[in-house]
Amino acid sequence: MGTLADLTREDVVRAFAEAKVRFARADADLKNFRFPSPPAAADFDRWKELSGIWDQRDEELQAAREDLRDFDRGQLTVAG
For residue 33, give the nearest of 24, 45, 20, 46 by alpha carbon.
46
Structural domain total, the chain = 1
Domain limits for position 40? 7-72
| pLDDT confidence of residue 80 | 40
Kindly give the interhelix angle for 41-72 and 9-32, rounded to the nearest 10 degrees.
Answer: 160
CA distances from 27 to 13, 32, 41 (A): 21, 9, 22
Could you tell me if residue 20 is inside a domain? yes
pLDDT tens-digit readout, 24-70: 999 999 999 999 999 999 999 999 999 999 999 999 999 999 999 99
Residue at 2 is within a domain: no
Classify residue 40 by its DSSP letter.
-
**Domain for residue 32, yes or no?**
yes
CB 57 within 8 A of CB 23: yes
